[in-house]
Amino acid sequence: MTDVTRMTAAQVAGLISGGDASAVEVATAHLDRIAAVDERVHAFLHVDRDGALAAARAVDEKRAKGEELGPLAGVPVAVKDVIATRGIPTTAASKILEGWRPPYDATVVERLRAAGTVMLGKTNMDEFAMGSSTEYSAYGPTHNPWDLGRIPGGSGGGSAASLAAYEAPLAIGTDTGGSIRQPGAVTGTVGAKPTYGGTSRYGLIAFSSSLDTPGPCARTVEDAALLHAVIAGHDARDSTSIPQPVPDVVAAARLGATGDLAGVKLGLVKEFTGDGAEPGVLAAFRESVEALVKLGAEVVEVSCPHFEYALPAYYLIAPSEASSNLARFDGVRYGLRVGDDGNRSLEEVMSLTREAGFGPEVKRRIILGTFALSSGYYDAYYGQAQKVRTLITRDFTSAFTKADVLISPTTPFTAFPFGSRTSDPYQMYLADLYTIPTNLYGGPAISVPCGLSEGLPVGFQVMAPTMADDRMYRVAAALESAVGTFTPPELSLESLA
Ligand code: GLN
């Protein structure tokens, strides 16, 4: 039989429902692949071998009884470690949560289980999802399967790398400022940020609550859409969840795959398609735009003048919300506790615990956020950033009167070598220059591989209006049908095995 780890999720689901492979065989093949390569990739913080095999057996039993299987039954999935999984370690890649086993499942995990997917384990990330390289994980970085000396993006580098290394066909990420799309771009995989409120935040360890959005990661656009359909939809346990039906993203991806974009208007974002990006990124992007035009799309240039303020506004809003959300890690309720010798006060224990438990980037954000929210500075910083957020939303609204979707490269540069951006936080923040406006607006966006630059993958970003997630899948699938999918060089892959 062909190697199931190289197949798409849709193909694997077909094998299982058709009785050509058992879910246990599929899970075992992926667990074996993880055992063979993850020492070098380090995509996983925890592998749940027993749980995966038990879930796979349940699917096989259901099939044997002739019960109906969902579209992804038996398909393995890796879950970012910022998402609560009942009884399974969940650390958000922080020392402060080491050893914590949540007493409940996040809504997205509940839905994955109900759909019969098989959770392989929890993936590595930047601590509390703050970062763009996975170098801020307290448990060591993930390596990019395209070049093990380079970053896999972040914060969801583990989820993206698990796909590129064929350890999993599907993964879940979270996107607050780009953490699904940017890792997708630099690993040659697909990552989609759904509309904010389109997927539930219940059970997500909160970073910036007005921005956090869980979403699908996959190797093909259709697979991402299949996963999106499983996890999305209203959830009464999330107060910002949208009580509306999810657009049919799977049908949209299949329509796009036919390669017909007649009548579709693409808005080329002037501010993000100039000289700001590396030449190789721009070249791959421009060739892809030409490919889309050949499929019938029309390109119009749109201007979004406030996008240049998105990065500074984000780095006030996200740390402000984080400083409040992370107050719950006090050494009393979860995980780590330092210095509790019976003589120290609660404040002293709290302070020692937070000093030992949080890494440098998390501390930087807490300090920045606390400052931005402090009385006397609130209006100058946080209040001002919220106004910029409104202006960015207006830019989107006005651009969507001229175009169906907006397009840009996903990132200004390809995967960079370890250590090259850690000494200057601003250089790291720049990785999300093109992804952050979407989070401030709340709409959906997808990154799809569009070519290579000096042998490294380049991502193409498609942004759509709020609750029009289907539009971005159509365009992304059309681009994929024109340029194909991208596989790390055999040499690099085989040197892993
Ligand atoms: N890289 C951005 C940050 O550091 C985005 C992170 C994310 O989307 N979780 O905040």
The string of pLDDT tens digits covering residues 182-199 is 999 999 999 999 999 999
Q: Give the DSSP letter of residue 61.
A: H
Nearest ligand 1 atom, CA 361 = 4
pLDDT above 60 (res 497): no
Cα–Cα nearest to 411, from 218, 277, 285: 277
> From the CA of 407, how far away is ligand 1's center (Å)?
20
Q: How confident is the model at residue 362 (pLDDT cuts 50, 70, 90)?
A: very high
For the question of whether the overall pTM of this predicted structure is more than 0.95, the answer is yes
The predicted pLDDT at position 493 comes to 63
136: which residues sit within 8 A by CB, 6+ positions away? 93, 126, 127, 130, 154, 155, 359, 360, 361, 362
Residue 301 CA to residue 298 CA, distance in Å, equals 10
Query: What residue has token string 């990006």?
Result: 277
Dump pLDDT digits (tens) for 50-62.
999 999 999 999 9
Instruction: Quote the pLDDT of residue 484.
Output: 95
Question: What integer pLDDT is reported at residue 378 of this predicted model?
Answer: 87
The count of other CB atoms within 10 Å of the CB of residue 119 is 22
Q: Which two tokens stand for residue 319?
A: 């740390």
Indicate if the pLDDT at residue 375 is higher than 90: no
90-125 pLDDT, tens digit per residue, is 999 999 999 999 999 999 999 999 999 999 999 999
pLDDT given at position 335: 87
Beta bridge partners of 80: 123
pLDDT confidence bin for 1, thresholds 50/70/90: low
Does the CB atom of residue 318 touch ligand 1 within 6 A? yes
Cβ distance 150 to 418 under 8 Å? yes
CA distance 121 to 29: 14
pLDDT tens track for 277-319: 999 999 999 999 999 999 999 999 999 999 999 999 999 999 9
Q: Give the rounded percent of residues in the chain with a pLDDT score beyond 90.
A: 95
**Ligand 1, closest atom to CA 208?**
9
pLDDT exceeds 90 at position 333? no
Q: Whose CA is nearest to atom 10 of ligand 1?
A: 130
Is 439 touching ligand 1 by the criterion CB < 6 Å? no
pLDDT of the residue at 259: 97
Structure tokens at 19: 């009785």
Q: What pLDDT shows up at residue 494?
A: 63
Residue 444, both tokens? 């959906």
> What residue owns the CA closest to ligand 1's atom 5?
177
The predicted-structure confidence for 126-137, as pLDDT tens digits, reads as follows 999 999 999 999
Q: Which helix (H) or strand (E) holds 36?
A: helix 23-41
If you search the block for the tokens 């009548």, which residue do you land on?
Answer: 263
Kindly report the average pLDDT of the chain as a whole number: 96
Please give the Cα distance from 334 to 328 (Å, whole number). Answer: 8
DSSP label at residue 343? S
Does the Cβ of 130 fall within 6 Å of ligand 1? yes
